[in-house]
Amino acid sequence: MTGELAIGIDLGGTQIKGALLDVKGNIIRKQQVATLANAGPETVAARISRIITEMENEAASLNKKVKGIGVGVPGQPDQAEGTVVFAANLRWRHVPLVEYLRRATALPVFLENDANVAALGEQWHGAGRDSFNMIMITIGTGIGGALIFNGRLYTGSSGSAGEIGHTVIDPDGPLCSCGRSGCLETFCSGTAMVRMAGEAIDRGRKTGLAKVENLEARDIFTAAQAGDEVALEIIDRATWYLGIGLGNLINIFNPDTIIVGGGVSKAGDILFEPLRRKSMEWSLEAPAGAVRIIPAHLGNDAGCIGAARLVLLQENKKCGN
């Protein structure tokens, strides 16, 4: 045997990404297919299995052994049972994912929430490499969160820690997908920013955003770069609320790093300058001085890299490390 490998799978609502990695985190091979969530969990599992089989064949052709498979799922997994308890995007409840994958592979399979595996990826090979106490937030349709303390993933008592998007910032705020009102993600997710643009257009505000078809958060940042007043106001409002959210996290956890991921994290200074300034306004002096707020580095690969990391961490646990 000339070396060992791990397979990382990033199961998303629209795409399944898979990667074969060595123990240092170098990607040997990558693959991506459509999830086809509407076809049901067994079809989705079969599509994941096909990627796993190809990765295993690739490893065999390299004369290397695969230690296991990590899967990041967009919801809450039950690691002990090998099930996905709930995944809103996939419309899954109590899906025995590991049992389905067993039909194609004898390798050990480890499940973890997608925000958590992205954070593990960034900690291993991305923006959090030098970090010991790290919080990652991912701004997308909603706002995902993950907590790494003392170098280890913190998942809480029932595996659901890090739901930063559902911390309430204003109880009188907009209705949230979780059924409550004024959660952080109702003010600063991509969805929220697009909603604010629609409201401004409905009020008759003049903005270039009115002409954009299928408006996304990234269009708002592009318009803001060009000086669009409505776009600038939306970013001002979103970063004000996000600053409160991060300020609270900074005061509670005293992290050394907060990593901001998701599509909008590529927006650069137009996002990060106001976000850093406003987060500091809501933080106490000592923890404010200890934290850096930085963009994620790994982009779309974070999930696969972190999922493979999961396999290696489980191996370490077994050895008592």
State which of residues 161, 178, 212, 290 lies at the interface with Zn ion (CB under 5 A): 178
183/310 with CB nearer Zn ion: 183
DSSP characters for 69-129? EEEEESSEEETTTTEEEEETTTTEEEE-HHHHHHTT--S-EEEEEHHHHHHHHHHHHSTTT
**Which residues 6+ apart lie within 8 Å of 210 measured at CB?**
201
**CA of residue 116 relative to chain centroid, distance:** 7
Determine the 3-state secondary structure of 291 from DSSP. coil
In the complex with Zn ion, which residue's Cβ is closer, 98 or 176?
Answer: 176
Q: Under 8 Å CB-to-CB from 41, ≥6 apart: which residues?
A: 90, 92, 95, 97, 100
Please report which helix (H) or strand (E) contains residue 140, including its range.
none
Among residues 136, 183, 246, 302, the one that binds Zn ion under rule CB under 5 A: 183
166 binds Zn ion, rule: CB under 5 A:
yes
**If binding means CB under 5 A, how many residues of this protein chain bind Zn ion?**
4
Query: Which one, 66 or 164, has the nearer CB to Zn ion?
Result: 164
Stretch that binds Zn ion, among 72-80, 100-108, 183-191, 299-307 (CB under 5 A): 183-191
* Cα–Cα distance, 96 to 82 (Å, whole number): 6
**Smallest distance, Zn ion to C-beta of residue 5, A:** 39
Three-state secondary structure call for residue 203:
coil
User: CB under 5 A: which stretch of 2-10, 107-115, 180-188, 312-320 binds Zn ion?
Assistant: 180-188
Per CB under 5 A, the segment of 21-29, 70-78, 93-101, 179-187 that binds Zn ion is: 179-187
Nearer to Zn ion, 101 or 164 (CB): 164
Q: Which of 176/242 has CB closer to Zn ion?
A: 176
Catalog residues that contact Zn ion under the rule CB under 5 A: 166, 176, 178, 183
